[in-house]
Each structure stands twice: as C-alpha cells, then as structure tokens.
Structure 1
Amino acid sequence: MISDKKLIVNSEKGNLLNELIKSIKECQHFYFSVAFINFSGLQLLLETFKEAEKIGIKGKILTSTYLNFTDSKSLKKIKEFENINLKVFVTDKEIGFHTKAYIFEYREYYKIIIGSSNITQSALKSNVEWNVKVVSKKEDEYVREVLKEYQKIWDIGTKADQGFISRYESFLQNLIRKNIYPQVIYEDIEYIVPNRMQKRAIESLERLRSYGENKALVIAATGTGKTYMSAFDVKEFKPKKLLFIVHREEILKKAKETFEKLIVNEPVTFGFFTGNVKQKDADYLFATIQTVSKYYKDFDQDEFDYLIIDEAHHATSPSYESVLCYFNPKFTLGMTATPERSDGRSVFDLFDNNVAIEVRLHEALDDELIIPFHYFGITDIDEVDLSDVDIDDIAEITKRLKVHERVEFIIEQMNFYGHDGDKRKCLGFCASKEHARYMTEEFNSRGYKSICLTGDDSVEYRSQIIQRLEDEKDDLQFIFTVDIFNEGVDIPSVNTVLMLRPTNSPIVFIQQLGRGLRKYKGKSFLTVLDFIGNHNKTFLIAIALNGSRYYDKDSLKVAIATGFANIPGSTHIQMDEISQERILQQIDKENFNSMKYLKEEYNEFKKMNNGKVPYYLVDYLKYDGAPDPIKFIDREKIYLQFVRKVEKDENLLSLLSNVIFEGALKEISGKLPLKRIHEFVILKYLLEHKEISQSIAKREILKYIKEVDSDTIIHAFECLTQSYYDSVQKRGKLQLCELQDGLLIKSDDFSNILKNSEYKKYIKDHIQYGIFRYEKEFKQDYYGIPHFKLYEQYLMADAALLSNYRKIHSSFRGSGLLANGKDYFLYIDLHKEEDIKESINYQDKFLDQKYFQWQSQNSTTQTSERGKNIIYNKERGVSLHLFIRKYKEIDGKTEPYIYIGKGNTVEFHGEKPITTVLELEHEVPQRIYTEFVKKV
C-alpha cells in the first residue's frame, strides 16, 4: 500500500463524518483520541458503531474532561457498546488535552486522520475544519510514532467505569446549579446585527418603499427571527408612532422586549394596549387585535406611521378588516409563517401582493435560523403490513399499527438513538385519535409518562400540557397527537419527534418536522425517528426531505443514494438499507407525469386546503412542500382545465367556453415558470391601466429587481405583442398587447376580458403567481444579457427570450449549438438516445468539476467561421454558454437543461466533429456535479 495523503474539510464535496463512517465499517480496529465528545456528534455515529459491533470490529476511544465540554450522556452511551473500550483523560489547571486523532488499522496499513475536529455535529459536518488523512504501511516511522503517542496517553487515561461517570455527572450538574456551566458570553446590544434573512428582508422593504409601495408581506418559518427583522426595519424607518398588532396576547410581551432591546437611545416610549393595560399615549404601542378592534376609533386615522401585523394570515378576518380600513399609516408590514387563509380571502391581496421575502425550511437551515435535525429512517417491523391498504383508510391503518411488538420496537429505537438534553420532550404524530390514545396507554404502561392531545381538547388544556412538557421538573415526556401540532403551535424545547404514521403528504411531514426546529437555550439538535412501512407512498418522504419543487426520478434517487447531501449545515439524514431500497423501487415504478399521479398529488393538496378546490395558483404558495402546479399546466395547457377535468366542474366548463378568456389564460400560462420577470410586471400594471411607457415599465420592474436594461424592456414589449411567435404558437392564444406610438397598450380583446371580474381574478392570480415564484427563485439579482442564473433550469427556447433574440424564438430548438451574435448556446445531453449513439460516438462528459469535454456538431471544421469561434472563443469575444441535462426524457416528459455558466476552450483536436476541452468559469458545485455523474 503506497502512502496517501488528503485534506478533509467539511464542504459540498464531503465531510469528516462520511470519512469516519466509511473507515469504521472497513477497518479491523479503530482508535480515537478526541478532546471533546458531545451527544450531537455521537448520535451520528451510533448506527455505525452498532454495525461494527455486529461484525466484530473493536475500538478504543479516549476523550477528556478538558473545559468540561464532554457530556456524561455521551460517555454512558459509548459504554453500551461491548466492542468499544472507553477511557477519559482527566485534566487539571496545569495540563490541557486537545487532541483530535482518528486511527484505523487494516491488514497491511493504517489510516490516520489528525486535525481540528472533535466529535460534535458541527465539527463532523459543517464547521470550518482541517483534518489531514495519511495512509501508510504498518512499518512506516510516522505510523509507529503516532501509535506510540496514542499508547502513552491511553495508558494514563482513567477507565470510564460506572463510578467515574457518576462522579463526573454529579460534578457537571453542580456547575449547572451554581450557574457557572456552560460559561455565558457577554453580548453588547450595540453588536446585535441582522442575520442573513433579516438583511435580505430589510433591503427588499427599503426597495419597495423607494418605489412608492406602502405595504409588504414577510413569509418565514416560526423561529426565524421575524420580530427582530421588523424591529431592525423600524429602527431604520424611524416612525414617530408605531402600532404592533398580534393575535395572541402571550407573544406581545416578547415582541415589546425585542423592540426595547434593539431601539435604545431613541426618544420613544413603549406601551401595551390590551384588555387589562391601555397605555394609549405610548409612542410604540403593542396591542392585541381583540382590544384594538374595539377601541381603534379612539385614535386618529393617521396616528401611526408604521403598522405591523403579526400572524398576518389572520388579517383577512372581519376584526382585522375594520382596523386596517380605518388606519392610514405610511407603511404596513405583515408577518406570517404560512400565508394560509382560512376564509377564502387572499392574504397576498391584503398587502398589495408585495412579498418582501419568503423563507422556507431549507433556506432556514441554510441561514442557521433553526436548529439542525438528525433524521433516522427506520424500517418498520414485519408484523406491520400496509402494502395492500389504501393510505386514506385511516381506520384500517390504525388497526394495523396497533401492535404491541411495534411499541416495543419504537421504544427500543428511541432509547438507542437518544435525544438532546437531559429530559426527553417528544411529540409523537399518529394516524388517528384512536392510535394516539393507544400509544399513550402503551407508553404509560411501560413507565414512559405520556398524554394524548387531540382537537377534542380545549385550547386551555392543550396549553397546560405543553407547559408541563416544557417543564424540566415535570415527569411528562411524550405528547401523542394527530394533526393539531402541524402548525401554529410553538413548543421551542421539543427535542424529539416520532413519525408513527405513514407519510401521505410532504406538506404534513414538513409541518410536523418543523415543530421541533425552533431554537431554544441549550438545545443543539432535534432527533427525528421515522418508522417507514411498506405502504405504496413511502417515496413521499424523499420528496419532503429533498426540499425542491424541481424533482424527477433521477434527482430523487441521487438524493437518497447520497444521504441527501444537498441538505445544508449539520442536519443529518440517514435511512437504513431496507428503507432506501424500498423507496428506490417505488420511485422506479412511479410515473410522476401520469394523470393518475398528478390527480393523487392534486387531491392530497386539496385535503390540505381544508377540502376546498384550489382554484388559484397562489394557493400553492401557502405551504412548504406543496406540489408544483406547473406540472398541472403542462398536462392541460391551462391550470383551470386540469381542475375542471379532475373535479368534473361544470362552472369551469362554462367559464372556459369563452375562447378569448381561454386564449388569455393559455398565453399567460405558457410563460410560466418565469425566467424573466419584466413581462409579468408590465401585465400587472396593465391590469389597472390602459397603457404603459418604457419609463413607467422601468420604474415598476425596479420594484422587483436591482437593475434593468432599456433594451430588455423594449424586447419585453415586443414579446408581449407576440412579435416572435410563429403561426403555431399564435394558434389559440390571445394577443394581450399592441405597440402604439412607443407605448404598450392592451388589446381590445384583453381589455374587454378584464372588465369581467370573474375572468380578471383568474388572470390576476396567474400574474401574481408568476411574479411571486420568480422572486422566490431569482430574488432581486441582476443577471445581465443574456439573463441566465447559474444552475437554474432552462428550455432551449428560453435562451432566445433571455438574450433579446429578435427572430422567431421557436427556431431555438433541435440543435446542439444555437447562436445569437457572439453568444453561443451549447445544449448537451450526457446520456444520448440509443439510435443517436449508433450513428455518432459523442464524447460529451465532465472531466471534473472545472473541465468539460464537448464535441461540436458533426459537420463543423476547424477552418469554418463557427469552428474558429469555438476553438478560439476567448480571443474572438465569443461566449460559450453550457446547458446540460442528464437525460433527454424521463417518464415521457422532455427534461429541461441546467445552466452551468460559460466555458472557454483550452484544448481541441479533430474536426467533424471538433473535440474540445472547456474550462468552466464557475466550478460546478458538488451537489450539482454528483447529480450529473452519479448512476443509481
């Protein structure tokens, strides 16, 4: 075995955890020496230790009491493994202990990893850490030196027997009682700064205000810092008077404290306006809607400069309506975790459809606004067979889940994986009320204090039980429930979630997962145990965890095979082999584009929509994990046509019988999802105005993006007049606009359609949806001309639109290289169709993340003008834009391309075709690269 060296860092390419798991499974013996071990890191290795124990791999682990950072829970857990010998280096004031070494013994060589990482979740997965791996023969001098030093400290280490661990645990508890552990770091209020989400939201609010908007909505998950964000914005806005309205009195005090903490040394007073306290003269007033809706006329209409509505999804109710109609502030801010509306009215409309920012689960993890979760997908026991049961047959599913052996198995797994903190605070999500009651009885009979909560219980009783669960001294550990904790209930200290029902909705899965992700003092991670059965919709778990509206069979399979490596930070997702295989088989069998599947997806979403028909595209923005309605549009050309078919809705049939309305919807729908926002911003303006000039269009577009080109505005005008449509594209579609004396005006047909309020609300919905979705996916960034975002999905014809191409756009298809002046667009299929492979032996492939090998069209010579532009592209000022897809088609649907940026030719040979090596201007991220090259 030759010597081998490698630097291991935590990045998209991998992390130390993956290296340790792989090494433990393959070695004969392992020897660790780490200063710190805490349970957040140890839990990630438990399954691997168990596998090692089964096959007889033995190990030694040496840790220390240095800085009292190693927790006693970790020591106890390691002691459960008979194959691991544990010692502790007891430090004192004179001697510290700071080693981080991982040694693996193989038959002929050692692998030695020495660096900066201890066994904590962040050190193993997300921190900036350097660890050097050296592989050397057993007789190597370096190996002998390392083993000698390891043996030296091992010999003086203290055996971690039960007596030692008990004494150490008592010592740590004494420090906690004296409030000297863990050490508290002093924080100066002056140095509290906005996090990434808050900065983005504040920038967006400032931009909207600068262009005359006076209302906006912020959508962000519970615990992500919306109240702080609003306080930061108020600090910049400096209103003379502020009104902050909440739905529940219990959160009012915290809101007021947040503002008082951030807004210091300002000549403003703070006060409450509630049922018991009415400090009406305070400058910044914090009120409940119940009180302010009774007394709002005691204030002047323009009394408040800034109005904040917390939990804004309630703001469509009558109590809010009267208050909002009465006051006339300079700016109104709405904040919500979910823009769900319960009464059929639009929260978006209430805030003039201005969404300042939207932060869902994966963004919140990426921005570290919530804590990481450790998800363990565990194959359910054989006694539970759900293979032949309808997932909506709750009674039958309940019957099959009520198995004593399953309860024992759940407890066994729960005790093996453990939890963060001293007291377990667990939510168990069940299939039905009967199932929740059963689990409660079974757990109580085994000595695990549990309570069942359902929608039948009063709000007051639920609050009492939640307080008991959060109380460290109360013996209540488990609340078993059905769906009442899916959203809107805040239990920050929850450290364990049990998924005890088959997952039939990614939305519900994400909501239940989210119940435990709130940051809380001393809480570093959430443990999620999901008992995965053999029902036919198990693959929905993968869709929920993958966290992307864009998915296909292949991307899902790659995510599963790589342990969802695309999930940011210290979050860890681990499925056992049986569950992985079961899900992969289901994905292979499922056709995500079939009418059957789309109907099931639609109907499941309809259930989440309180059983109401989701007539509007913006309904799909309400929930994290909602299906992508573009799939429904792709199926029937018009979303309402899809709804009509599924619902057999005669009213929609009548509505769509108007060919002009149908043509308008078809024209607007055909532009979704937007890759350029300009056209829809212009259409939004034209909903209320007869005409629009270039200067007004520029002003309106700048409300959404940071910069706009004049030529792109002109091109957008031309696109809205269908200047670049061929005869087939125009068929059945309404021409919405016309050019007249440099102004863009509505066509007569479009104007007439908009006079009908029923038609108008559906057209407005489509335009709003397009704008909201664009903002979510492209944010406010400027991409220039051509208007391409790295790693976004594009169709061939999109390049024509986004490069301001002024010929028929449908000509942009059917070829591997298309051009617009000095911009060359390379469309590349990594896996060719079989018939093409036989005629041409293409060699298009990634050489690595920085270099790509590409072959020109079969007729291109080096001496042709096009050939010279390819092989000397940089010298000739030609941009080679690479669009790549893995497969041309999946489940009968043409796949889009991924834009990976520009490349420059650094090598070339041959002709007809010319084989080139392109150096990419942007190294492809590991996540994208893996998806392109990995075969599953």
Structure 2
Amino acid sequence: MTTAQGSPTAYEPRFIHNSGYQNFYAELQDSLLSCKSFQMSVAFVRYSGIQLLLETFEELEKRAIPGKILTSTYLNTTQPQALRALKRFSNLESKIYIPTRDRGFHSKGYIFEYAEKNKIIIGSANLTQCALKSNIEWNVRNYTTHEDSFACDVRNEFNLQWNDSRSKIVSDEFITEYSKYLARLGKKSMPENAFEYETTAIEPNQMQKEAINKLDRLRKNNESKALAIAATGSGKTYMAVFDALQVRPKKLLFIVHREDILIKAKESFDRIIDKTKFSTGFFTGTHKDDADYLFSTVQTLQLHYEKFGKNDFEYIIVDEAHHASSPSYAKILSHFSPRFMLGLTATPERSDNGDIYSIFDNNIAVEIRLRQALEYELVAPFHYFGITEFNEITYENVDIDDVAAVAKLLMISRRVEYVIEKMEFYGHDGDKRKALGFCATVEHAEFMAQEFNNRGFVSLCLSGGNSVTERTVAIQRLESADDQLQVIFTVDIFNEGIDVPSVNTILMLRPTDSSIIFTQQLGRGLRRLPDKEFVTVLDFIGNHRKSFLMAIALMGTKQFDKDTLKVAVKNSFADIPGSSHIQMDEIARDRILEQLENEKFFSMKYLKEEYRDFKRQIGDQIPMLVDYLKIDGAVDPITFINFSKTYLQFVQKVENSIEITALLANPDLMNVLRFYSNLLPCKRPYEFVISKYLLHHDTINPEEALLELKKYIAEPRIDTISHSFNYLSQNFFDSGEQKTFSGLLFEKRGTTLTTTARMRTVFESINERKWIEDILSYGLLRYEQEFSDADYGIPFFKLYQQYTMKETALLVNYQKAHSAFRGSGLITSGKEFLLFVNLHKNADVKESVNYKDLFLTSKVFQWESPNTTSQDSDRGKDLIDNYKRGTNLHLFVRKFEEVEGLTQPFTYLGKSVCQHAEGNKPIKMLLALEHEVPADLYFELVTKV
C-alpha cells in the first residue's frame, strides 16, 4: 500500500539507497533523533562518516539517549581518529572487535528502540562518508514489535558480538596501541577502496573525453583556438596530452608561468606520448633543449621568442591561461601563428582585466564548475558546517561592506575561543590540521594569527604585502607533516589561483557578502590527493542581511527562486553530488530561511546590489553579459533582463551613463536587443549561430548554416535550420511583433537568409555592434554550459530543463504564430502533445496542491485533460491510446505559476504513456513517465515550504 504521493506507509519494509534526497545518512539521522536507544554493528568506522553525525551525537548526549557502537579492526580500515571522536560522548559505549584470520567482521546492522516498536536496518552501509552519502549501498529498513522473532534474533546476535571476548572496550590505551600498529604498517594498511585496476594505458576521464571530442569538432570546422575551464586537479594537463595525440603535431609548445608546473606537465606528456617518434625538452633559464615538444616558462620565452619563426609550432598550449591577456603573454602569443592554440585554466575570471574568452575566440572546449567537478569526482568532497556566529557578535548596526568596521566587530578574544572550540569539535581529516582562515582585513588576519599562537595553535598571517617567496615558504610549512604550522590566516590572496593541495580545513571567519568569493574560498581546499578523504569547512554565520548568499552559492545553478532555495536549505542541500555534506545548526538555518522568505530577489533594490557587487568583482568596470559566465557563483543576468526588457536598459538604470543614453535613443538597436533578449537563456543555438554568422556576412544559406552549427551541435538538422530561417525572417510573429520588427532583422530570399539594410546599419556601428556581439556570445556560451553539444532532435527538449510555453513552440518547429503557445494546458503540434501543469497554488497562497494534477509516484502522474475533451473524440483517442496512435505526450510541470509576481517556466519531465483513463470532459488519466523523476527534483516539486 502507498500514499497518494507515493511514499511507503509508515511501517512497511523500505529499501534505502543513496540517490539525491534519498540517502542513508538522512535515514540514520532521523532514526537516531527519534529513538529511545540504539545499537550499531558496523565493520568500518572512519572519521569522514563520524564527523557528519557529531551534532546528532551531541544532541543525543544532551537528551541522555544511550547508544552502543560495535566496530572492528577488519582490514585495518577503522581510524583511531574516529574512535576518539566516539569516545567524547558520555552516552555512547564503543567496542571494537578484533577479527581472526578465519573469522572476519563484516556486519552492517542498526537497531533503534522506540516505545512500542523497533526499527532495524540491515544492509551494506558502514559509518563512512561514502556509505552514508554516495556509495551504491543496499539497505532494508523494517519495523517490528519488541517480541517479534526477527527482532529478538538481531538483538541476540548483537549482544553475542558485544559480549564476545574479542570485543574490546575503546579505551585511550587501546586507541594508542592501535595507532602504533597502523603506523608500523604504514602504507600496508588497507584503505576502504584499496584495490585499483590499472591498465598499461592511461584512459581519459569523463571531462577529458568531452573536451577532446569538442576540440576535434572545432578543428574540423576550421576553428584554431579553444579554452578549457576545469577545477584544479581535474586533469586538464592530461586532457591536453590526449588532444595532442589526436592532432599529432610535429612541433608543440607548452607555456606556463611556473617552472614546477612545467616539470609536471612534461612528465604527463612523457607518460603517454610515443617517445620514439617525438622528443620532449625544456626551454627555461637553465635548459634550452632542441626537442619536438618544448616546455617553456613565459619568463624565458618573452626574452627569446623571436628566435622562433611564427609557424614553428603547430600546436601551442597555454597553461594558467587566465594570465594570457597580460603584456608578457600577449607579446608572445601575437608572435606565433599555430594551427591550434589551447588554453587551460581553473579560474577564467582572473584575466588581469582582459577578456580571456575572446583571446580564445569564445570557443569553450569544456567548462566544469564546482558541482559538476564534485559529480565527476574530480575534486575532494567537503563537509560544510554552517555555525551560528558567537552570541556577542551582532551586525544590526554595521554595514558589512565596511570591512574595517566588520573587522573591529570580530576582533574579540572570546570569539577566538569560540572558533577554536568549534574547530576542535568538528576536527579534520588526517593527522595534522592544515587550515586556511579567511578574514575581513589584514588587521583581522594578524589578530587571529596572534590569538591562535597565544593558545598553542601555530599560525601566521599572509596578505598581498608578503612576497611570493614568503607565501611559498608558508605554504610549504603548512603542507609539511613535520612542521608545527596549522593555520594560515589571510584576506583574499587565496581566493583565486593559489593551490594548497593538502588543505583539510577552511575557516570562513568573515560575513559572506559575495557568493562569488564564497565559492572561490570553498574551492581552495578541494584539490584531490590519494590520502585525502574530505575537507572540513566551518562557516560562522552571523545575523547580517546577506547571510543567505551562501545558500545561493551552494545551489550551484543560475536558475532558482526563493522557494527552491528554501527547500534546499531546509533539507541541507541533500542533492549535493557525491559524499559531500552540507549542514547548518538550527539557529543559522532558521535565520537564513527567514531571510529568504523576506528577501525580494526581483526588486530593483536587490538587483542593483547584485549588479554592483559583481561589478566590483571584475575591477569596477561595466560588466558585459559574457562576464557573468566567467565566474562561478555569479548572479544570473537574466534577472536584470526580466526586470528591464534588455540588459542595456538595466545597466542604464544603475549607471546613468551618457554613452548608454545615446544607445538607448536608437530604436532599431533597442528592438534588436529585445528580440535576442526574449530568446534568453538560449534553448537551441540555431538562431544565435545564424545571427552571429550574419554579423560578418550579408547572407547565409542552409549549407553554410549547417557548417556553422556543427561547431555547437553534434548533428544539426536541415529542417530545423529551415524553421530557424523562417523564424528570423518573422514568419511566425504575431501582428504586434510584425509591427515592431517590420523592415528590421532578416528576410528570406528563396532558401537564403539576408540581412536587412536597417539591420546592417545596426551591425556596422561599433558601439552598437559591441552589445549585439555580447548578447549573441552570451547566448551561445551559456547554451554550451547547460546543454553541451547533444542533439535533442524535434522536439528540441532536454530532460529537466526549464521552458516557457512560447519557447516550446520554437523547439517543436511550430509552423504558426508562436504567441498561440500560451494560456492553455494542452497544446498540440502534429503528433507532439505538450501538457503544461501547475502543481501548486501560487507561493503566497496557503492552499497546497491542485489535486486534479499531481504526482502519484515519481514514475506516475495523474493528469486531467481540458474540460472540453471526451474519450471518443479524436483528441481524446490520441491522448488515451497515445502509444498505439504514435502520439507523444510531453509533460511539463511547474511548482507555482508565479513567484514574486513573475511568471515561472515549466520543467520538462519527458514523454509519458497513458496507463488508465476514466471520465469525460475532463478525462482523468494516469501517465507512466518514460523517465523516473530524479529524487532531488521530485522532492523539490512536491514539497511546499
């Protein structure tokens, strides 16, 4: 039996696995916080798992809820650090079973006692971060009475193990001896994932495969430059090697600004390329080798580049490409004319006030930001703990943009003690703490370092005033296991660019006033290392007005509203990829939820603040649309466009610029910008690719369009090119649109699309062209971020992407005025039936669900047809017998019709098949979804907070 929303009834057996919002951690935490007592028998206990439960165990200790935890030394995987953490809690008894050679210990069972029942979970999950959050684990939950034979058997077996002579009390003496034993074993001790299968060849990872496929396609379409953007440690250098294997250049040049990076890059090439056919060497201050593949520092090359001919290198790789606009790089790159140039960077925003994207012709080979890097396991997992700020700190009368005032507020000794208390409580991965502490000012950083040193935690302060040598030495000390240094306090020099691989702790000691800086600071500790399980992130959340920005940063998506954020915060961002973990204490969570409830995200006041904050991030220059794509965590400029019709109009409201005033006075320019603004965010690239081509050419034919589109889509379609030509020439505009754009945009002559005279005039004006190029580049770059190069055919829909009704008309190649695609819950285009559903009343209405249209499970949706449709009509038969009649039922849902007065888009859930139908005018139908709704999206759609 199931409930209407598809949840199991309270006490029936349940399968528990890790999938989005459904994970073993959530089940375990809920069970612990609701029971009278508990017992656990698990083979492995690692600190990565225990840290996630520290606050839960502390709460149980306050309530005097007793618990027993039995683990083992099986495979030497249990960590002494985890045992020490368990021993802290007075309500917990811990024992550790010492297995014999022939009798291992591999149980995974959890027993929870309630007043009238037991809950028992048996399966595969140990107490590790991966088992709780991300591993493929199979666990079964069952409720029983106290007298049930199954429950009695499980309890008896636990007691036998607990009382066995090989089960030892976890005492200080035991932990000390066990630690010494593991130290003697050294690398022989077996980690949880000890076995790794290595072939003789190094295979590209998922990111590298995507990149080399895209690079190959770009070259086939006569492109000569590209940029790869991916997190530090994700394998960009190997990706460059794999691409070089595709090109097989006779001569290759690798450029970077640091010699240590250069040495590692050469080692990567040497491991993969055929050394019998290509030689490798250095071109540095100390080595000037004669080799096929040359690895050079920019410092040496800028002194000697004229020794090489401009065509000497067929392939040039620019590592740390965010420096490519600096004078030293620009001089070198302008000298050479390679067949192909590839830029590699983790931080495209660090461009020395230059546009890195344009240097590489806006061709993005791959762009992987934080969430995707976590999903691909390219960076280390993190455990984020949002902690309520020290109770004596209040921001009520402080402007958080006044960093000096903020620093003065934070520089009190009692707050330092509070920070240390929390740092010690949550602990860290590994033997030595290696922490970065981000402060408000240099004075604040110096204060923190001194206070920590006074309390026995060896620390220092680094700022922009320190030399490169001083920074390097400090990092080496922090990374060294033999050095006493535990914490480096800094202001902003580690926000970007600096890599400290072994950092295991991030302390966010200043109020979050920018989601961009928050994301950069978070990323500083995520470099993967073989013996690094996770990074501990402690964020001290105060009562200032921008506390909620951390929620926006952790969402990892540009498309959100306050309801989406509230659900995410309330459920601790349970959809975070992999075994990363996000947790806020109750006060911090409630404070952020209250802020989200009261914040007007689409008000002019809020939007102006977001714009100005972003402008400061890029050097206080007016941002173009493409700038917002360069920085992870940046505001979505579509919100500015929605407010003011075009981005240029919004900028003018903030800047009040004479130059922009003149541009706004040109009605043709404004209509062109409005036309493309209405197509943002770009949902298919055809219109943008064709328009970008026509910036430089008077006409385009279908064959030319096909070649251009192949740079963006694996297999573009001629019929969609034809539809796009018709759309751009206003064939599907309604009367109002035709009046606005009459004589503007493009016109079709036979099969060729031609730029109108008025459009050419707009294109040829330098100032006006700048803004048109920007909006077209933004549309295509964002398309690549969100859609990659997949061919979605007709309809051109991507699962779980958001669409407005009018956008769907474009994507089904609708042959009539596209304004007809609105205001109805069912729209048809040939055999494509599009079902649009509002799940809830508007966000400000208390009634929860529209009970006519609702999810029965994540696989089955109940839908009612329009009330004019009967079962015996042609439309009714197409709906009910859609599988037999070849009708495609596409389901689009949105949670609310409006949020903050703005109409919301629909989420595409894919095709469905009618399983059952009853009634007439309307017909009630049960639709089986072709794709089960992912757990995180399903939870978001059915939950109203």
Q: TM-score, normalised by structure 1?
A: 0.97
Q: Relative to structure 1, is the Cα distance of residues 731 and 377 closer, same or farther in structure 2, using a 3 angstrom cutoff? A: farther
In the alignment, which residue of structure 2 is the partner of 1:852?
861
Q: Are 2:75 and 2:189, in contact at CA under 8 Å, matched by a contact in 1?
A: no
CA positional deviation for 1:298: 1.5
Matching residue within 601, 610, 622 for 1:613: 622
- 1:584-622 CA deviation, whole Å, 9 max, x = no partner? 1111111111111100110110111122221x1111111
Q: Are 2:843 and 2:899, in contact at CA under 8 Å, matched by a contact in 1?
A: no
CA positional deviation for 1:413: 0.9
Alignment of 1:61-72 (within 5 A): 61-72=69-80
In the alignment, which residue of structure 2 is the partner of 1:727?
735
Whole-Å separation in 2 of the counterparts to 1:82 and 1:410: 23
Q: Are 2:323 and 2:352, in contact at CA under 8 Å, matched by a contact in 1?
A: no
Q: Are 2:77 and 2:189, in contact at CA under 8 Å, matched by a contact in 1?
A: no
CA positional deviation for 1:199: 0.8
Matching residue within 134, 145, 165 for 1:126: 134
Pair 1:198-2:199 in alignment: no
Q: Are 1:842 and 1:855, in contact at CA under 8 Å, matched by a contact in 2?
A: no
Whole-Å separation in 2 of the counterparts to 1:906 and 1:631: 40
Q: Relative to structure 1, is the Cα distance of residues 208 and 835 closer, same or farther in structure 2, using a 3 angstrom cutoff? A: closer
Matching residue within 554, 566, 570 for 1:557: 566
- 1:292-347 CA deviation, whole Å, 9 max, x = no partner? 12212212322212110111121122222232222222211111112225454322
Q: Are 2:825 and 2:835, in contact at CA under 8 Å, matched by a contact in 1?
A: yes
In the alignment, which residue of structure 1 is the partner of 2:32?
24
Instruction: Name the SS of the counterpart of 1:374 in structure 2.
Output: strand
Whole-Å separation in 2 of the counterparts to 1:868 and 1:70: 62
Instruction: Name the SS of the counterpart of 2:794 in structure 1.
Output: coil
Instruction: Name the SS of the counterpart of 1:334 in structure 2.
Output: strand
Whole-Å separation in 2 of the counterparts to 1:394 and 1:388: 13
CA positional deviation for 1:834: 11
Over the aligned positions, Cα root-mean-square deviation in angstroms equals 2.0
CA positional deviation for 1:64: 1.1
Paired letter, 2:526: L
CA positional deviation for 1:862: 2.4
Alignment of 1:305-324 (within 5 A): 305-324=314-333
Pair 1:659-2:667 in alignment: yes
Instruction: Name the SS of the counterpart of 2:814 in structure 1.
Output: coil
Whole-Å separation in 1 of the counterparts to 2:80 and 2:845: 63
Whole-Å separation in 1 of the counterparts to 2:816 and 2:320: 49
Moved more, 670-679 or 387-396: 387-396
Matching residue within 129, 144, 152 for 1:136: 144
Q: Relative to structure 1, is the Cα distance of residues 479 and 730 closer, same or farther in structure 2, using a 3 angstrom cutoff? A: farther
Whole-Å separation in 2 of the counterparts to 1:441 and 1:594: 43
Q: Are 2:641 and 2:650, in contact at CA under 8 Å, matched by a contact in 1?
A: yes
In the alignment, which residue of structure 1 is the partner of 2:3?
none
Whole-Å separation in 2 of the counterparts to 1:621 and 1:181: 43
- 1:2-33 CA deviation, whole Å, 9 max, x = no partner? 97422221112511111111111111111111
In the alignment, which residue of structure 2 is the partner of 1:372?
381
Instruction: Name the SS of the counterpart of 1:518 in structure 2.
Output: coil
Whole-Å separation in 1 of the counterparts to 2:839 and 2:188: 60
Matching residue within 788, 799, 812 for 2:808: 799
Q: Relative to structure 1, is the Cα distance of residues 870 and 24 closer, same or farther in structure 2, using a 3 angstrom cutoff? A: same
In the alignment, which residue of structure 1 is the partner of 2:6?
none
In the alignment, which residue of structure 1 is the partner of 2:245?
235
Alignment of 1:189-338 (within 5 A): 190-264=200-274, 266-279=276-289, 281-338=290-347
Instruction: Name the SS of the counterpart of 1:218 in structure 2.
Output: strand
Q: Are 1:817 and 1:825, in contact at CA under 8 Å, matched by a contact in 2?
A: yes
Q: Relative to structure 1, is the Cα distance of residues 599 and 921 closer, same or farther in structure 2, using a 3 angstrom cutoff? A: same
Q: Relative to structure 1, is the Cα distance of residues 764 and 830 closer, same or farther in structure 2, using a 3 angstrom cutoff? A: same
Whole-Å separation in 2 of the counterparts to 1:202 and 1:273: 27
In the alignment, which residue of structure 1 is the partner of 2:5?
none
Give identity over the alignment, percent.
53
Q: Relative to structure 1, is the Cα distance of residues 357 and 2 closer, same or farther in structure 2, using a 3 angstrom cutoff? A: closer
Moved more, 811-820 or 371-380: 811-820
Paired letter, 1:350: I
Pair 1:740-2:754 in alignment: no
Matching residue within 858, 883, 893 for 2:902: 893
- 1:649-700 CA deviation, whole Å, 9 max, x = no partner? 1111112222222222222222111111011111111111121110110111
Q: Relative to structure 1, is the Cα distance of residues 75 and 344 closer, same or farther in structure 2, using a 3 angstrom cutoff? A: closer
Matching residue within 547, 553, 566 for 1:538: 547
Whole-Å separation in 2 of the counterparts to 1:925 and 1:314: 40
- 1:226-277 CA deviation, whole Å, 9 max, x = no partner? 1111111112322221100002222111111111112245421111111111
Whole-Å separation in 1 of the counterparts to 2:197 and 2:944: 50
Pair 1:389-2:398 in alignment: yes
Matching residue within 760, 763, 779 for 1:754: 763
Whole-Å separation in 1 of the counterparts to 2:352 and 2:57: 52
Whole-Å separation in 2 of the counterparts to 1:187 and 1:791: 35
Q: Are 2:461 and 2:488, in contact at CA under 8 Å, matched by a contact in 1?
A: yes
CA positional deviation for 1:385: 0.6
Q: Are 2:682 and 2:779, in contact at CA under 8 Å, matched by a contact in 1?
A: yes
In the alignment, which residue of structure 2 is the partner of 1:160?
170
Paired letter, 1:295: H
CA positional deviation for 1:833: 6.0
Moved more, 900-909 or 39-48: 900-909
Q: Relative to structure 1, is the Cα distance of residues 864 and 180 closer, same or farther in structure 2, using a 3 angstrom cutoff? A: closer
Paired letter, 1:238: R
CA positional deviation for 1:184: 7.2
Q: Relative to structure 1, is the Cα distance of residues 924 and 291 closer, same or farther in structure 2, using a 3 angstrom cutoff? A: same
Whole-Å separation in 2 of the counterparts to 1:835 and 1:299: 68
Paired letter, 2:124: S
CA positional deviation for 1:800: 1.1
- 1:349-379 CA deviation, whole Å, 9 max, x = no partner? 2112211111000000000000100001111
Paired letter, 2:323: H
- 1:722-754 CA deviation, whole Å, 9 max, x = no partner? 111123224554722111232111111121222
Q: Are 2:870 and 2:922, in contact at CA under 8 Å, matched by a contact in 1?
A: yes
Whole-Å separation in 2 of the counterparts to 1:520 and 1:229: 19
Whole-Å separation in 1 of the counterparts to 2:682 and 2:863: 29
Q: Relative to structure 1, is the Cα distance of residues 299 and 447 closer, same or farther in structure 2, using a 3 angstrom cutoff? A: same
In the alignment, which residue of structure 1 is the partner of 2:515?
506
In the alignment, which residue of structure 2 is the partner of 1:478?
487
Instruction: Name the SS of the counterpart of 1:923 in structure 2.
Output: coil
Paired letter, 1:679: E
Instruction: Name the SS of the counterpart of 1:400 in structure 2.
Output: helix
- 1:826-861 CA deviation, whole Å, 9 max, x = no partner? 1111124699999x9861111111111111222222
Paired letter, 1:738: E
In the alignment, which residue of structure 1 is the partner of 2:50?
42
Whole-Å separation in 1 of the counterparts to 2:235 and 2:154: 47
Structure number with greater CO (CA < 8 Å, separation at least 6) is 2
CA positional deviation for 1:639: 0.8
Q: Relative to structure 1, is the Cα distance of residues 735 and 535 closer, same or farther in structure 2, using a 3 angstrom cutoff? A: same
Equivalenced residues, count: 932
Paired letter, 1:774: Y
Whole-Å separation in 2 of the counterparts to 1:544 and 1:612: 23
Q: Are 1:65 and 1:88, in contact at CA under 8 Å, matched by a contact in 2?
A: yes
In the alignment, which residue of structure 2 is the partner of 1:921?
930
- 1:758-794 CA deviation, whole Å, 9 max, x = no partner? 2222211111110000111111111111111111111
Q: Are 1:189 and 1:262, in contact at CA under 8 Å, matched by a contact in 2?
A: no
Whole-Å separation in 2 of the counterparts to 1:185 and 1:901: 39
Paired letter, 1:160: V
Paired letter, 1:79: K
Gaps of at least 5 residues in structure 2 are: 1-8
Pair 1:813-2:800 in alignment: no
